[in-house]
Amino acid sequence: MINRDRLVNSFLDMVRIDSLTRQERGMAGYLLKTLKEMGFEPYEDDTGAKIGGNAGNVICRVPGIPGKPALLLMAHMDTVAPGIGKKPVVDGDLIRSDGTTVLGGDDAAGIAVILETVRAIREDGLPHGDLYLVFTVAEEGGLFGARNLDISKIPADFAFIMDDEGPIATAAVKAPFYNRFKATFIGRAAHAGLEPEKGLNAILLASKALAELPHMGRIDEESTSNIGIINGGIARNIVSETCVVEGEVRSIHEDRLEKYTREILDHIRAVTEKMGGRVEIEVERMYPGYHLEETSPIIRILKDAAQKAGLPLNLHATGGGSDTNVINGYGIPAVDISVGMDRVHSTEERIRISDMERACRFLEAIIATALTYSR
């Protein structure tokens, strides 16, 4: 049986912990202590040192029936700003931010659901295969915890990441590939008042290139692009020598991602060189996309579990990225499952207790259903 009070208290304890990206020490300490008290042997990896953070991923194996499918249950420890001094407000079935910070349900709700579900199945003696609990750092803004995870130590057959929005039993089964790029436009510096004709303004180079980009915003039904950061110049009276622009391209289809990225960057180069400037471009594949077919075993598990839990299953595509992308890239079939979070990344963030309870029951049904599948 899911213990509502324990679930709520665990969630409230965690959202009160400051846990911004790369500053997850308090949350990691809480989870290590909690998992030890539950009778397990959790450990922390060295991701923190690799990414300039103060904590690593927290990993824990819950032993189960040998030979049965092993499951990876995953959520992330970090929250976005404003996230210092969070004060959750309990209002009946609703838990919300006090309006000055985010609530932090993204993704403390996912952690709380995993912890409560594991507690419940152990107390009730419900059979299960090996469970690997992984709580990552620095998911927000780069999926750095998942990207630095030593997956060789986590021999899971399927993965369920508790980090989605929407009604309970909603699962993201399709998500985009993601490229980010940085273009450094290089012109010539000169005194803006004495000899501006000797200069070549890098901000103007960037402006001209961006104004005529071949792709921006919604490119097609499953592809997008954006320019998110522009920074140039050092003083009003100096013709700017450099200007840095940062952007992204996303697509469910890898071939389209590469095509659109290439066309955007080729355009930037052509415009800049035509105006007599130079541009240095860096491109990084942040994470792979994934597309799980409805006939795949993990989707069949979801369907059977939803029926067992009495919940309508909602399979959808997302335009965002999550640890789910990285885990699929490692070769482990993974889906991103809703825990009921709402209005995330805002000071109006909220979540219903009853939704977290339903998320626990759905996860419990997933764990039980997985036993009936072959490895």
The full set of domain ranges for the chain reads 4-175+289-370, 177-287
- The pLDDT tens digits for 323-356 are 999 999 999 999 999 999 999 999 999 999 999 9
Residues annotated as binding site? 345
- Rounded to whole angstroms, the Cα distance separating 328 from 292 reads 9
Looking at residue 220, what is its pLDDT? 95
82 prior amide bond cis, ω within 30:
yes
Question: Does the pLDDT at position 121 exceed 90?
Answer: yes
Annotated active-site residue in 139, 165, 336, 357: 139
Answer whether CATH 3.30.450.20 is correct for domain 177-287.
Answer: no
Give me the architecture of the 4-175+289-370 domain, per CATH.
Answer: 3-Layer(aba) Sandwich (3.40)
Q: Is 139 a catalytic residue?
A: yes
Dump the DSSP string for 128-152. Answer: ---EEEEEES--TTT-HHHHT--GG
Active-site residue, selected from the candidate residues 78, 140, 222, 342: 78
241-255, pLDDT tens digit by residue?
A: 999 999 999 999 999
Question: Is 90 exceeded by the pLDDT of residue 141?
Answer: no
Rounded to the nearest 10 degrees, the angle between the axes of helix 353-370 and helix 297-309 is 130
Q: How large is the average pLDDT for residues 49-61?
A: 98
In the residue annotation, 140 being an active-site residue is answered as no
Binding-site residue numbers for Zn(2+) are 345
The mean per-residue pLDDT over the stretch 16-37 comes to 98
Residue 4's Cα: distance from chain center in Å? 27
Q: Is pLDDT above 90 for 65?
A: yes
